[in-house]
Structures are given as structure tokens and as C-alpha cells.
Amino acid sequence: MDKYGLIGYPLGHSFSRRFFTEKFTREGIDATYDNYEIPDARMILDVVRDNPELRGLNCTIPHKQAILPLLDWFSTEAREIGAVNVIRIRRDMNARIRLEGFNTDVIGFAESIKPLLSSEHRNALVLGTGGASRAVCYALSRLGLRWTYVSRSRHEGMLTYDDLTPDTMQTYQVVVNCSPAGMYPHVDEAPRLPYEAMGRHHLLYDLVYNPEETLFMKLGAQQGAVVKNGLEMLHLQALASWEIWNGRSKDFTF
């Protein structure tokens, strides 16, 4: 029986395990999906060695970047983004192992936000500078948008939340929240933005999907902005993982 899984630390609630277990049951696929909670990315080598049926892994925090030196090959997106969330495992006749890295976050985000974009969406604010934001920025660039990071502390080339004035919001029509602000159980939190300056020409995309409507989305919608959460992105990146594990190298075409 083929095995797949998720590496990260810590691993509490796992969307991936539930998603793939339900997929395998629904489609009659003879496979299992397990969580491998490893505090050190280097422990992936033990996981792969101890599970010879393992064909692929998803990778989540804090290992998306730390895993890179341990891989034998990267997709174009993974190399340029500098982060991996999918690993394909190949074994030859002599049981030698080859680990290949991909980034399906960029695929999921791009395919999810693209139908919402119009010609007036030219500039984007990306809230947060973690691993997921790298994929978001890569996708925005490939979709033709200019983007700027927003960070809590001041760094060269970035804005801080104190810099975001009503005039700023007229320049940036797209806002993507890559921070955990508003994620359950902190549902009363939202990124500190001048929401009153937003309108129907703004698009607010939240990578958070629990709750279904975050306060960030709610405040934007009250001003007439288009809003969307990250659930579809999550589904799309998971489906792209499955394609990769089954031999379809997924260098995404924009």
C-alpha cells in the first residue's frame, strides 16, 4: 500500500490528513496518509528510510525552507521562491532515494485569486513576511501585479502598518493577508488597516480559512470590497500535490 504524509512541527489539526484520507476513501485509492511530527527538518531522512512505501510528503512550518539543503532537485517555483511544501520521493532498483521539491502554494493561490482580478488591480500589499508570503509574491508578480510587503517592524523596501494611510489604500487595490491575524481562536483580531478608505475596487484575500469569514474580510466587505478566504487555495494546492506525486511535474503556467 502506498503511503503519503505531512511533515512539520508541531502538527495539531491537519487539513492535509483529513483531505487525503477522504479522497482515498471516496475514490477507492489503496493508500494511507499520516502525520510525521518532526522538530528537525533533517529527520525527514529517517522518515523516508523507515517507510519504504512512502511516495510523497507535504511540508509545513517550520520546515519549508530548512528542508531545501536535503533535497536533490527543485521545481522552478520552489527554487525561485526559496520554499518547498511538496516532496516527491523516488526510489531506484537499488533502493537509492531521490527527494524532489515543489511549491504548490503558488499554484493554489494563483488559480484561486486569478478569477477575481481585473485591469484596475495593479498593486498589492502583502501582509506578513513568512514562508507563505513568498509564494504569494511570486504568484502576484507572474500575474502582472506589483507588490509590497507590510511588516510589523521597519525593513528596507517594506511598509509598516503605521505607513498605511487612506491615501496608501488608493494606490494598493489588492491586499493579501499572509499573517495569522484573525485565525481561530483569535477571531476578534484583524490586521491594522484603514478599512474605511476601501471600496468596491479593492480585493481582500485572506490565507486564513478558519473562521470562514475573518474579521479582516468582514471589515473589507462592509466597505464594498471583494473578499475571499484561503480554503480554495488549500484545496487546489493539495490537488496539485497529488498530481506531482503521481508523476506530473507541476511547473505552473500563468
* Torsion angle, alpha carbons of 35, 41, 46, 49, to 10: 80
Nearest-angstrom CA–CA distance, 227 and 250: 28
Residue type, 221: A
How many residues are given for the chain?
A: 254
Reduced DSSP (H G I as helix, E B as strand, rest coil) percent helix, strand, coil of the chain, to 5: 35, 25, 40
Give the strands of the sheet with 123-127, arranged side by side.
159-160, 146-151, 123-127, 174-177, 203-206, 226-228
Nearest-angstrom CA–CA distance, 78 and 251: 9
Catalytic positions, please? Answer: 64
C-alpha grid cell, residue 132:
507563505
Collapse the DSSP code of 5 into the 3-class scheme (helix H, G, I; strand E, B; otherwise coil) and give the result.
Answer: strand
| Phi, psi angle pair for 154, to nearest 5° | -80, 130
Nearest-angstrom CA–CA distance, 246 and 143: 27
